[in-house]
Amino acid sequence: MANPLGNRIYQVDIPRPSQELLQKLSEAPAANLDDAMNRLFAMDTGIRALNSHPLCGPAVTVRVPDGDNLFIHVAMDMVSPGDILVVKGGAGADRALLGELMLRYLVPRKVGGVVIDGLIRDLDYIQEECPFPVYARGSSPNGPYKNGPGEINVPVAAGGMVVNPGDVLVGDPDGVVVVPRDDVEAAAEAVQAVQEMEHSVIDRIGQDGVFIRPWMDKKMQEWDTPTLSL
Ligand SMILES: O=C([O-])CC(=O)C(=O)O
Ligand SMILES: [Mg+2]
Protein backbone atom coordinates (compact mmCIF):
# COMPACT_ATOMS: atom_id res chain seq x y z
CA MET A 1 0.00 0.00 0.00
CA ALA A 2 1.21 3.52 -0.74
CA ASN A 3 2.14 5.71 2.21
CA PRO A 4 -1.29 7.06 3.33
CA LEU A 5 0.06 10.08 5.20
CA GLY A 6 -1.29 13.10 3.34
CA ASN A 7 -2.52 10.66 0.71
CA ARG A 8 -5.79 9.04 1.79
CA ILE A 9 -9.50 8.98 1.06
CA TYR A 10 -11.98 7.92 3.73
CA GLN A 11 -15.22 6.55 2.32
CA VAL A 12 -17.41 7.64 5.23
CA ASP A 13 -21.15 7.79 5.31
CA ILE A 14 -21.32 11.22 6.94
CA PRO A 15 -24.32 11.94 9.17
CA ARG A 16 -26.89 13.93 7.17
CA PRO A 17 -29.37 15.77 9.42
CA SER A 18 -33.06 15.75 8.47
CA GLN A 19 -34.37 18.53 6.24
CA GLU A 20 -36.40 19.72 9.23
CA LEU A 21 -33.28 20.17 11.37
CA LEU A 22 -31.38 21.88 8.55
CA GLN A 23 -34.36 24.16 8.01
CA LYS A 24 -34.30 25.16 11.70
CA LEU A 25 -30.58 25.97 11.49
CA SER A 26 -30.86 27.91 8.25
CA GLU A 27 -33.88 30.04 9.00
CA ALA A 28 -31.88 32.09 11.52
CA PRO A 29 -29.11 34.51 10.55
CA ALA A 30 -25.63 32.98 11.01
CA ALA A 31 -25.03 35.61 13.70
CA ASN A 32 -27.96 34.34 15.77
CA LEU A 33 -26.81 30.76 15.34
CA ASP A 34 -23.35 31.72 16.58
CA ASP A 35 -24.95 33.54 19.54
CA ALA A 36 -26.86 30.34 20.29
CA MET A 37 -23.47 28.58 20.45
CA ASN A 38 -22.01 31.17 22.82
CA ARG A 39 -20.29 33.08 20.02
CA LEU A 40 -17.39 30.68 19.47
CA PHE A 41 -18.05 28.85 16.20
CA ALA A 42 -17.56 31.27 13.30
CA MET A 43 -14.85 30.85 10.68
CA ASP A 44 -12.40 33.73 10.44
CA THR A 45 -13.46 36.81 8.54
CA GLY A 46 -11.28 36.04 5.51
CA ILE A 47 -13.85 33.47 4.37
CA ARG A 48 -16.36 35.56 2.41
CA ALA A 49 -19.64 34.83 0.62
CA LEU A 50 -19.05 35.31 -3.12
CA ASN A 51 -22.73 35.18 -4.03
CA SER A 52 -25.92 35.57 -2.03
CA HIS A 53 -27.21 31.99 -1.78
CA PRO A 54 -27.66 30.85 1.83
CA LEU A 55 -25.41 28.02 2.97
CA CYS A 56 -26.54 25.10 5.14
CA GLY A 57 -25.47 21.46 4.92
CA PRO A 58 -23.10 18.74 6.11
CA ALA A 59 -19.42 18.89 5.19
CA VAL A 60 -17.38 16.62 2.94
CA THR A 61 -13.81 17.71 3.70
CA VAL A 62 -10.70 17.91 1.53
CA ARG A 63 -7.12 18.88 2.34
CA VAL A 64 -4.90 19.88 -0.59
CA PRO A 65 -1.42 21.40 -1.00
CA ASP A 66 -0.86 24.99 -2.13
CA GLY A 67 -2.50 25.58 -5.50
CA ASP A 68 -3.31 21.94 -6.36
CA ASN A 69 -6.84 20.61 -6.88
CA LEU A 70 -6.42 16.94 -7.92
CA PHE A 71 -8.10 15.68 -4.75
CA ILE A 72 -10.91 18.25 -5.03
CA HIS A 73 -11.74 16.69 -8.40
CA VAL A 74 -11.88 13.29 -6.72
CA ALA A 75 -14.05 14.60 -3.88
CA MET A 76 -16.51 16.11 -6.38
CA ASP A 77 -17.43 12.56 -7.34
CA MET A 78 -18.13 11.70 -3.69
CA VAL A 79 -20.66 14.41 -2.75
CA SER A 80 -24.33 13.65 -2.25
CA PRO A 81 -27.13 16.17 -2.80
CA GLY A 82 -27.01 18.89 -0.16
CA ASP A 83 -23.42 18.24 0.93
CA ILE A 84 -21.03 21.15 1.35
CA LEU A 85 -17.58 20.66 -0.17
CA VAL A 86 -15.10 22.14 2.34
CA VAL A 87 -11.52 22.57 1.18
CA LYS A 88 -8.45 23.52 3.17
CA GLY A 89 -5.81 24.77 0.73
CA GLY A 90 -2.21 25.53 1.61
CA ALA A 91 -1.59 28.70 3.58
CA GLY A 92 0.61 30.50 1.08
CA ALA A 93 -1.60 29.90 -1.94
CA ASP A 94 -1.50 32.35 -4.81
CA ARG A 95 -3.58 30.31 -7.22
CA ALA A 96 -7.24 29.38 -7.52
CA LEU A 97 -8.30 25.90 -6.44
CA LEU A 98 -11.64 25.79 -8.23
CA GLY A 99 -13.57 27.54 -10.98
CA GLU A 100 -16.50 27.57 -13.36
CA LEU A 101 -16.01 24.15 -14.96
CA MET A 102 -15.89 22.40 -11.61
CA LEU A 103 -18.84 24.38 -10.27
CA ARG A 104 -20.90 23.61 -13.37
CA TYR A 105 -20.12 19.92 -12.85
CA LEU A 106 -21.43 20.19 -9.28
CA VAL A 107 -24.77 21.72 -10.31
CA PRO A 108 -26.48 18.48 -11.49
CA ARG A 109 -24.92 16.71 -8.51
CA LYS A 110 -27.02 19.12 -6.42
CA VAL A 111 -24.17 20.07 -4.10
CA GLY A 112 -25.31 22.28 -1.23
CA GLY A 113 -22.35 24.65 -1.57
CA VAL A 114 -18.60 25.07 -1.59
CA VAL A 115 -16.38 26.60 1.10
CA ILE A 116 -12.75 27.09 0.11
CA ASP A 117 -10.06 28.13 2.55
CA GLY A 118 -8.09 29.42 -0.42
CA LEU A 119 -8.81 31.17 -3.71
CA ILE A 120 -11.21 30.51 -6.58
CA ARG A 121 -11.49 31.90 -10.13
CA ASP A 122 -14.24 32.58 -12.69
CA LEU A 123 -15.90 34.99 -10.28
CA ASP A 124 -18.35 36.26 -12.93
CA TYR A 125 -19.94 32.82 -13.14
CA ILE A 126 -20.07 32.50 -9.35
CA GLN A 127 -21.72 35.88 -8.89
CA GLU A 128 -24.11 35.78 -11.81
CA GLU A 129 -25.02 32.18 -12.57
CA CYS A 130 -23.88 29.64 -9.99
CA PRO A 131 -27.09 28.37 -8.29
CA PHE A 132 -25.50 27.43 -4.95
CA PRO A 133 -23.39 29.29 -2.36
CA VAL A 134 -19.63 29.70 -2.83
CA TYR A 135 -17.37 30.99 -0.06
CA ALA A 136 -13.62 31.60 -0.38
CA ARG A 137 -10.82 33.97 0.60
CA GLY A 138 -10.74 35.65 -2.80
CA SER A 139 -9.94 35.05 -6.43
CA SER A 140 -6.95 34.80 -8.77
CA PRO A 141 -6.62 34.10 -12.50
CA ASN A 142 -3.72 31.79 -11.62
CA GLY A 143 -5.04 28.27 -12.12
CA PRO A 144 -4.40 25.15 -10.03
CA TYR A 145 -1.96 22.33 -10.64
CA LYS A 146 -3.37 18.82 -10.67
CA ASN A 147 -0.64 16.68 -9.16
CA GLY A 148 -1.84 15.81 -5.65
CA PRO A 149 -1.45 14.62 -2.99
CA GLY A 150 -4.39 15.28 -0.68
CA GLU A 151 -6.80 13.81 1.86
CA ILE A 152 -10.58 13.43 1.77
CA ASN A 153 -12.92 13.20 4.75
CA VAL A 154 -10.33 14.02 7.40
CA PRO A 155 -10.64 16.83 9.97
CA VAL A 156 -9.45 20.09 8.38
CA ALA A 157 -8.79 23.56 9.79
CA ALA A 158 -10.87 25.68 7.41
CA GLY A 159 -11.30 29.36 8.19
CA GLY A 160 -9.52 28.73 11.49
CA MET A 161 -12.12 26.21 12.68
CA VAL A 162 -11.82 22.46 12.90
CA VAL A 163 -14.28 20.96 10.42
CA ASN A 164 -15.00 17.24 10.61
CA PRO A 165 -16.83 15.36 7.89
CA GLY A 166 -20.53 15.70 8.72
CA ASP A 167 -20.24 18.95 10.68
CA VAL A 168 -22.94 21.33 9.49
CA LEU A 169 -21.89 24.63 7.95
CA VAL A 170 -24.31 27.54 8.00
CA GLY A 171 -23.47 30.77 6.20
CA ASP A 172 -24.84 34.11 5.04
CA PRO A 173 -23.20 37.43 4.12
CA ASP A 174 -21.80 37.72 7.67
CA GLY A 175 -19.72 34.55 7.23
CA VAL A 176 -19.76 30.85 8.09
CA VAL A 177 -20.63 29.08 11.36
CA VAL A 178 -19.52 25.50 12.00
CA VAL A 179 -21.94 23.31 13.96
CA PRO A 180 -20.18 20.13 15.18
CA ARG A 181 -22.09 17.12 13.96
CA ASP A 182 -22.95 15.94 17.49
CA ASP A 183 -24.36 19.35 18.42
CA VAL A 184 -26.76 19.88 15.53
CA GLU A 185 -29.96 19.17 17.46
CA ALA A 186 -28.88 21.23 20.47
CA ALA A 187 -27.90 24.13 18.20
CA ALA A 188 -31.22 23.99 16.34
CA GLU A 189 -33.07 24.20 19.65
CA ALA A 190 -30.85 26.93 21.07
CA VAL A 191 -31.13 29.10 17.98
CA GLN A 192 -34.91 29.09 18.20
CA ALA A 193 -34.67 30.62 21.68
CA VAL A 194 -32.26 33.29 20.38
CA GLN A 195 -34.61 34.03 17.48
CA GLU A 196 -37.59 34.45 19.82
CA MET A 197 -35.59 36.78 22.06
CA GLU A 198 -34.36 38.87 19.08
CA HIS A 199 -37.88 39.14 17.69
CA SER A 200 -39.28 40.33 21.01
CA VAL A 201 -36.53 42.97 21.26
CA ILE A 202 -37.16 44.09 17.66
CA ASP A 203 -40.91 44.25 18.31
CA ARG A 204 -40.48 46.48 21.35
CA ILE A 205 -38.13 48.83 19.49
CA GLY A 206 -40.72 49.07 16.73
CA GLN A 207 -43.72 49.43 19.06
CA ASP A 208 -42.55 52.00 21.58
CA GLY A 209 -38.85 52.62 21.00
CA VAL A 210 -37.79 50.61 24.09
CA PHE A 211 -34.61 48.52 23.79
CA ILE A 212 -34.80 45.76 26.42
CA ARG A 213 -31.25 45.40 27.78
CA PRO A 214 -31.25 43.94 31.31
CA TRP A 215 -27.59 43.05 30.86
CA MET A 216 -26.72 46.72 30.40
CA ASP A 217 -28.32 47.76 33.70
CA LYS A 218 -26.57 44.91 35.49
CA LYS A 219 -23.14 45.74 34.07
CA MET A 220 -23.53 49.45 34.67
CA GLN A 221 -24.46 48.77 38.28
CA GLU A 222 -21.19 46.88 38.62
CA TRP A 223 -19.25 49.77 37.08
CA ASP A 224 -21.00 52.37 39.21
CA THR A 225 -19.75 54.88 36.63
CA PRO A 226 -19.90 58.51 37.85
CA THR A 227 -21.67 61.01 35.63
CA LEU A 228 -19.75 64.27 35.71
CA SER A 229 -20.60 67.74 34.53
CA LEU A 230 -18.12 69.95 32.78
O1 LIG B 1 -8.89 24.81 -14.00
C2 LIG B 1 -9.37 24.47 -12.93
O3 LIG B 1 -9.15 23.36 -12.37
C4 LIG B 1 -10.22 25.43 -12.19
C5 LIG B 1 -11.08 26.20 -13.10
O6 LIG B 1 -10.75 27.29 -13.51
C7 LIG B 1 -12.35 25.63 -13.52
O8 LIG B 1 -12.78 24.59 -12.99
O9 LIG B 1 -13.00 26.24 -14.37
MG1 LIG C 1 -12.05 27.98 -15.22
C-alpha separations of 73 from 70, 76, 193 in Å: 5, 5, 40
User: Does residue 151 form part of some domain?
Assistant: yes
* Peptide bond before residue 149 is cis, with ω within 30 degrees of 0: yes
User: Does residue 210 form part of some domain?
Assistant: no
Cα torsion 37, 40, 41, 42: sign: positive
Closest by Cα among 159, 161, 118, 156 to 136: 118
Checking ipTM against 0.90, whether it exceeds it is yes
Give me the phi and psi of 78, to 5 degrees please: -110, -5
- Alpha-carbon distance of 98 to 119, in angstroms, equals 8
User: Does residue 155 form part of some domain?
Assistant: yes
pLDDT at 103: 98
**Mean of the per-residue pLDDT values for the chain?**
97
100 among annotated binding-site residues: yes
User: Does residue 216 form part of some domain?
Assistant: no
Best residue for ligand 1 mutational test, from 98, 103, 105 (most atoms within 8 Å of Cβ): 98
Q: How many CB atoms lie within 10 A of CB 100?
A: 16
What average pLDDT does the segment 83-111 reach?
A: 94
- Alpha-carbon distance of 133 to 123, in angstroms, equals 12
pLDDT at 90: 79
- Alpha-carbon distance of 46 to 184, in angstroms, equals 25
β-pairing verdict for 55-63 and 84-88: parallel
- Structural domain range at position 181: 8-189
User: Does residue 220 form part of some domain?
Assistant: no
Q: For the residues of 29-63, what is the DSSP string, one character each?
A: -HHHHHHHTTT--BPPTT-EESSS--EEEEEEEEE
Closest by Cα among 171, 194, 133, 130 to 26: 171
β-pairing verdict for 134-136 and 113-117: parallel
- Alpha-carbon distance of 78 to 158, in angstroms, equals 19
How many structural domains comprise the chain? Answer: 1
Q: Are 80 and 165 in contact (CB under 8 A)?
A: no
pLDDT at 93: 72
User: Does residue 42 form part of some domain?
Assistant: yes
Evaluate if residue 66 carries a pLDDT over 80: yes
User: Does residue 230 form part of some domain?
Assistant: no
Best residue for ligand 1 mutational test, from 76, 122, 126 (most atoms within 8 Å of Cβ): 122
| 96 Cα nearest atom in ligand 1 | 4
pLDDT in tens, 131-179: 999 999 999 999 999 999 999 999 999 999 999 999 999 999 999 999 9
Residue type, 152: I
Percentage of the chain exceeding pLDDT 90: 97
**How sure is the predictor about 186, in pLDDT bands with cuts at 50, 70 and 90?**
very high
Q: What residue ranges line ligand 1, CB within 6 angstroms? A: 69, 98-102, 121-122, 143-144
